[in-house]
Amino acid sequence: MTLELDPDHLKRIGAWADRYVAQRKFAGLSVLIQQRGKEAYFHSAGVRDVTKDAPFDRGTVARIYSMTKPVTSLVLMMLVEEGELHLDAPLSRFLPDFDSPCALVPGAKHLDQVELVAVPTLHQLLTHQSGFSYPFNPGLLPQAMAAQDLLFKPNASTLADQCAALAQLPLAFAPGTRWEYSVGIDVIARVIEVVTGKPLDQVFQERVFDPLGMTETGFSVPAHARGRFAALYTPLAGDAMALVGGATGADTLRPVDSADASPFLDATCFSGGGGLVGTLDDYMRFAECLRIGGGGLVSPATADFMMSNHLSGDIASLGPASFAEQPMEGIGFGIGGAVVINPARSRVPSSLGDFSWGGMASTFFWVDRVHDLSVVFFTQLSPSSSYPARAELKALVHGALM
């Protein structure tokens, strides 16, 4: 049964948001909720740059990092619909550098302790079962990636160069045997470039941004919006992406990427896993595209397929050793995002089938097709594990369904 959002209960969100800002946990934030395609609630608080006292409003341009992944995944599914590829295709069909992969043997202590394995499929890349990893995860492969700064950063040469470097490293495990959050969707982005014969930024512009009217989203901050670009902060004393053992610093809002000197002002590497910047309203257009069944970009049947659980169980059952943008118990994974398969096991008030993902700067979105909701949350604090804001926001929204 679809429930309605109660305006009085929604006011709790504003008080919650204001408290986060007052406690200097976030410099600024914004929340936008739509139900049945109509705006039901908006609130913003704080500033986008503590040195300039500029308000963090709905026009603020933010780094959405891994909320890029669902966009890349949608474009890949457009190519599937067009018969350009299929999900069980081996990665090496498109990127020959990956034609003879090796994976670390279980319990490996050195990078040369490997065994030959099957080439990962596109589906395994999309669902983080490929054997790739991230530098911020624990383990030998992440350590090697960190040593090479292999994170597909906006100023890291090109997407092709980053994929070529990745191909020189072993996989963390044999494809299909585990779930580990990874750069797999960055590699998918390179597949998109190869199949279309176009750079990823052009593909996104033509296939997603222009059709949906996302005029302020891209891999570089649009020139007309640079005065609205937010600064990025961290509460950590060291690396803002240190997810394991990062020490809290004296300043809860230490700046780590300024708006006027950011690599996102002129990106050279179009990271399909974490490269986009944009506005709250632009991303709501994308979220609504998913909620209504593909928004004409893919068929409703394909949208349903994307937002179904593609794992054998929940993420926790696949033995993850990695960071993830979501809880792992009661949560499955679809094509580019998480799927709630057991709300009680997730311990976060949710609807069965909620589709969501977040980004390293603590941004978050979810689509709830049971109650016809799309929710987008923006802020700029890394890492996203700093505070339980996402779980709290979901509880606040569910508490307003009457």
| Per-residue three-class SS string for 343-402 | HHHHCCCCCCCCEEEECCCCCEEEEECCCCEEEEEEECECCCCCCCHHHHHHHHHHHCEC
Tell me the Ramachandran region of residue 371: left when phi exceeds 0, alpha when psi lies from -120 to 50, beta otherwise.
alpha
Using CA atoms, how far apart are residues 89 and 107, in angstroms rounded to an integer?
Answer: 29
Residue 381: strand pairing partners: 233
- Residue 254: inside a domain: yes
Confidence at residue 389, expressed as pLDDT on a 0 to 100 scale? 97
The CATH number of the domain where 140 resides is what?
1.20.58
Confidence at residue 53, expressed as pLDDT on a 0 to 100 scale? 86
Residues 217 and 340 placed together within one structural domain of the fold = yes
End-to-end CA distance of the chain: 11
Residue 300 predicted with pLDDT over 80: yes
Average pLDDT estimate for 64-79: 98
- Residue 82: inside a domain: no
Residue 240 predicted with pLDDT over 90: no
Q: Give 323-356 pLDDT, tens digit per residue.
A: 666 678 999 999 999 999 999 999 999 999 999 9
Residues 65 and 104 placed together within one structural domain of the fold = no
pLDDT-derived band at 246, boundaries 50, 70, 90: low
Total-model pTM: 0.96
Beta-carbon contacts of 100 under 8 Å, excluding residues fewer than 6 positions away, are 116
Both tokens of 400, joined, read 């307003």
Confidence at residue 245, expressed as pLDDT on a 0 to 100 scale? 59
Cβ atoms of 273 and 183 within 8 Å: the answer is: yes
Dump the DSSP string for 235-262.
Answer: SBSS-TT--SSPPB-S-TTEEEE-TTS-
Using CA atoms, how far apart are residues 257 and 263, in angstroms rounded to an integer?
Answer: 8
Residues 148 and 287 placed together within one structural domain of the fold = no
pLDDT-derived band at 237, boundaries 50, 70, 90: confident
Cβ atoms of 44 and 33 within 8 Å: the answer is: no
Q: How many domains are contained in the chain?
A: 2
- Dump strand ranges (E) for 269-370: 276-278, 331-333, 338-340, 355-358, 364-368
Residues 22 and 102 placed together within one structural domain of the fold = no
Confidence at residue 321, expressed as pLDDT on a 0 to 100 scale? 62
Confidence at residue 239, expressed as pLDDT on a 0 to 100 scale? 81
Confidence at residue 29, expressed as pLDDT on a 0 to 100 scale? 98
Mean pLDDT rounded to a whole number for the chain: 95
Residues 192 and 263 placed together within one structural domain of the fold = no
Both tokens of 97, joined, read 């550098």
- Going from the C-alpha of 222 to that of each of 49, 56, 87, 156, 218, the distances in angstroms are 18, 17, 33, 19, 7
Residue 81 predicted with pLDDT over 90: yes
Residues 45 and 117 placed together within one structural domain of the fold = no
Residues 109 and 232 placed together within one structural domain of the fold = no
Confidence at residue 176, expressed as pLDDT on a 0 to 100 scale? 97
**Least confident segment among 121-135, 236-250, 361-375:** 236-250
Residue 252 predicted with pLDDT over 80: yes
Cβ atoms of 396 and 3 within 8 Å: the answer is: no
Last residue of a domain, one of 149, 168, 196: 196
Q: Give 189-198 pLDDT, tens digit per residue.
A: 999 999 999 9
Confidence at residue 243, expressed as pLDDT on a 0 to 100 scale? 63
Residues 221 and 190 placed together within one structural domain of the fold = no
Using CA atoms, how far apart are residues 335 and 106, in angstroms rounded to an integer?
Answer: 27
What stretches of 341-388 show up as alpha helix (H) in DSSP?
Answer: 343-346
- Going from the C-alpha of 25 to that of each of 18, 61, 169, 298, the distances in angstroms are 10, 19, 38, 39
The CATH number of the domain where 281 resides is what?
3.40.710.10
- What is the residue range of 298's domain? 7-76+213-399
Residues 91 and 186 placed together within one structural domain of the fold = yes
Helices (H) and strands (E) in the chain, counts: 12, 14
Residues 304 and 330 placed together within one structural domain of the fold = yes
Residues 133 and 254 placed together within one structural domain of the fold = no
